[in-house]
Structure 1
Amino acid sequence: MVFEEKGIYSVYEFTLAVKKTLTNGQFGDVWIRGEISNFTNHSSGHRYFTLKDKSSQLQCVMFKWYGSNLRFELERGMKVIVFGDIDVYESKGQYQLKVRAIRPDGIGELYKAYEQLKNKLALEGLFSPVHKKPLPRFPDKFGVATSPTGAVLHDILTVLKRRYPLNVLFIPTVVQGEQAAKSIVCSIEALNKTDVDLIILGRGGGSIEDLWAFNEEPVARAIFNSKIPIISAVGHETDYTIADFIADVRAPTPSAAAEIAVPDRQELLNQVHRSGERLMQYQRRRITDNLSHLMELKKGIEPRTLFERLAQHMQYADEMTQRQILGIRRIIESKTALFKADAGRLDAVSPLGTLSRGYSIAVRIPDNIVIRSINDVEERDVIQVIVMDGKIKCSVNDKEEGNGNQL
């Protein structure tokens, strides 16, 4: 049986027809509020999740070229407001929302996004003190990036007029709303192309939503990359933004930022005055000390004083001479006693000493052999006896053996 095929769609054709109906513009650029579930951050960089409320759910995809601008990371259970266009995923015949932007919904979600970015930048080392640039002590010119309609600029100029008047380059900046982050980044980059020594980035107080531009990652990185030192003066003393952690110095208020940026002119004048007084006192002391020294030198060249000093030196020289003579005499006496002691010990073992005590030395002639035994001579040998005062020649008539200890 042949059926009439007119009006019958293929699955693909029907899907395209539905897609054409849904994407005709009626559901383009829509904001939708809901809670994230089934979140997947794919390795491709695309983010897939379900946006749901109590009654329904909607499949969503955020492609990586939109996700690169996301100022926080998505989490399951996070309440958000998404912006995008309705679309149909043809292979599954499933309609979905192509998300182009996402905002946290509510104070709790804003704080969660704030903590996420804060932790991320802290891990990168952007808050480290090693990256903080020192402020110039005496700036010649500084820039201010803030709203032209708020009180921030007026407060800063008032403080400068009172403390330290100088040139100010003002860059009108959007500090709240959708364009605020981009405007702040542009102002920082513009001031970095000028000759300012310092930048004050400020705005008045407000809620976390009002101050949110200063929690944006592009603003944080612009502050970090600035070649010129930046003072962050955002909100009131209890308000802390990411910009405060990145900036080189954080001021609790814009007025405090101006006081940090410049010295107090009156205090500088007081310091100069005190330094002048200390210098004068020092010079007076130096002059007084030098005059006293000159008086001492003058006394030293008076004839009476000169002769007294000369007599003292002469007496000292005589005393030193006498000490040297006594010292040399003691040395000679000590050496003489030592010499006599050594001579006595030497004389005790000298042959001459032996002769002086009545002993003699017998020598056989003619070979001058010292006779130590009766076997050294024969009868009729000629011997010579050496005594203390001369020599005696003798002839051996007889030999008699005996104990040498018997005399």
Structure 2
Amino acid sequence: MIPSCVLTVTQINLYVKSLLEGDEKLHCVYVTGEISNFTDHYRSGHLYFSLKDEKCAVKAVMFASSARRLRFHPQNGIKVLVRGRISSYEVSGQYQLYVEEMQPVGAGERALAYEQLKEKLRREGLFDAERKKELPRYPTKIGVITSPTGAVIHDIQNVTARRWPLAEILLYPVAVQGEGAAPQLVQALQYFSSRSCADVLIIGRGGGSAEDLWAFNEEAVVRAVAACPLPVISAVGHETDVTLTDFAADLRAPTPSAAAELAVPDGEKLKNALLQTAVSMHMGLENRLNDERMQLDLLSQSLQEALEKPTQLRQQELGVLAGRLEDLNPLRVLRRGYSVVTSIDGQVLMSPEKIHTGEQVQVRMDQGTLLCTVDKKENLHESENDI
């Protein structure tokens, strides 16, 4: 005989679910345990896992709407404290814990999220030294990403004006803490990256609590810093504050003022160095000129000696030739009492045959000239024969 009240599996499961959901004590429970059997459904964003202690375990689920608020990534072996409600999933009849909030036990949620993201990005190589870009030596435009009302921008402006007044400050105003800070920081980095309107960037803010500085630990901000084609100097908080942005930046500065000092050269020191270089160059040039003058003097003396020696030889040779020429000078013969007879037109007469009786001739002597008429000719050969 079949009982009058027969329930289906669905009815049983729904009844049990109504009992669980009807108990107000189960509407909000706090449970601590170790995560196991963790599954992250990346497409839906839901998290499925178990919480266990030394003896028992309970199934748990955290829907995407709640999981998105987590600041760390749950994983097996982490002890957590969760807040949620107890209900059952009627399809399987399995009761489970529906988690709405979760935080690590022992380590703070932010500290764990920081370490997890740091390790993840380190494995990807975002912090590698090989990725770091060198800063420009003489920047003309410095992009600054910070609050427009804080002391950071004023410190950077003052240091830059004192050290390198040639540089222009380009401020991109952003919120540096709170829920909207991270998207604004990313937008500012993308602005400078797409336009390349600056030579170097400074991103940062003044000191504050870990909560205040958290925007600079957001994954989107850190990735935007690492992807920026311009050199980036991180100046977040005080010297003891370290954010993930510091690791991704090309250079970390302990303070915003120090960031400005790293971004620009010291104009006064550069000026003094240039003056010293100019003096050294002038002294070097003077020394070089003196050396060249000495070399020129030595060469001039050598050249003069080289020119004088052949000149003296030529003068001696010329003196010998002059003497020989002087010996051949007919005038010199005339001084010894000899004469030279020429015709009227100046031709030297070497023989009586060149002249006729009655013609006039000129007789050149040392002290003058005689104009004579030939009365008689006598041939030398004839005289010798007569003798």
Q: TM-score over 0.5 for the alignment?
A: yes
Change (3 A) 1:221 1:274: same
User: Which residue number in structure 1 is paired with residue 266 of structure 2?
Assistant: 264
What is the TM-score when the length of structure 2 is the normalising length? 0.64
User: By how many angstroms is 1:263 displaced?
Assistant: 0.9
Point out 4+ residue stretches in structure 1 off by more than 6 angstroms: 15-22, 84-87
Partner SS for 1:205: coil
Q: Say whether the 8 Å CA contact 1:71–1:217 is kept in structure 2.
A: no
User: By how many angstroms is 1:51 displaced?
Assistant: 6.7
Q: Does 1:222 align with 2:219?
A: no
Aligned match of 2:36 in 36, 39, 51? Answer: 39
User: Which residue number in structure 1 is paired with residue 158 of structure 2?
Assistant: 158
Q: Say whether the 8 Å CA contact 1:138–1:262 is kept in structure 2.
A: yes
User: Deviation per CA, 1:200-224, whole angstroms, max 9, x where unpaired?
Assistant: 1111112322222222222211111
User: Which residue number in structure 2 is paired with residue 297 of structure 1?
Assistant: 299
Q: Which region of structure 1 is more displaced relative to structure 2, 64-73 or 36-45?
A: 64-73
User: By how many angstroms is 1:262 displaced?
Assistant: 0.7
Distance between the aligned counterparts of 2:87 and 2:148, measured in 1? 42
User: Deviation per CA, 1:114-145, whole angstroms, max 9, x where unpaired?
Assistant: 22222222222221111001111111212111
| Amino acid in the other structure paired with 1:139 | P
User: Which residue number in structure 1 is paired with residue 180 of structure 2?
Assistant: 179
| Amino acid in the other structure paired with 2:258 | A
Q: Which region of structure 1 is more displaced relative to structure 2, 297-306 or 206-215?
A: 297-306
User: Which residue number in structure 2 is paired with residue 255 of structure 1?
Assistant: 257
Unpaired runs of at least 5, structure 2: 314-387
Q: Say whether the 8 Å CA contact 1:73–1:113 is kept in structure 2.
A: yes
User: Which residue number in structure 1 is paired with residue 246 of structure 2?
Assistant: 244
User: Deviation per CA, 1:269-306, whole angstroms, max 9, x where unpaired?
Assistant: 11221121122112111211111111011110224786
Change (3 A) 1:296 1:21: farther
Partner SS for 1:41: strand
Q: How many residues align?
A: 295
Q: Does 1:128 align with 2:128?
A: yes
Change (3 A) 1:191 1:209: same
Q: What is the aligned-residue RMSD (CA, Å)? A: 3.8
| Amino acid in the other structure paired with 1:274 | Q
Q: Say whether the 8 Å CA contact 1:79–1:109 is kept in structure 2.
A: no
User: Which residue number in structure 2 is paired with residue 357 of structure 1?
Assistant: none
Distance between the aligned counterparts of 1:287 and 1:60, measured in 2? 90
User: Which residue number in structure 1 is paired with residue 329 of structure 2?
Assistant: none
User: Which residue number in structure 1 is paired with residue 89 of structure 2?
Assistant: 89
Distance between the aligned counterparts of 1:51 and 1:38, measured in 2? 5
User: By how many angstroms is 1:192 displaced?
Assistant: 1.4
User: Deviation per CA, 1:84-126, whole angstroms, max 9, x where unpaired?
Assistant: 9997533236364365x76667864433332222222222222
| Amino acid in the other structure paired with 2:183 | K
User: Deviation per CA, 1:32-58, whole angstroms, max 9, x where unpaired?
Assistant: 9764523333275453245799xxx98
Q: Say whether the 8 Å CA contact 1:299–1:305 is kept in structure 2.
A: no
| Amino acid in the other structure paired with 2:190 | E
Change (3 A) 1:43 1:4: closer
User: By how many angstroms is 1:153 displaced?
Assistant: 1.1
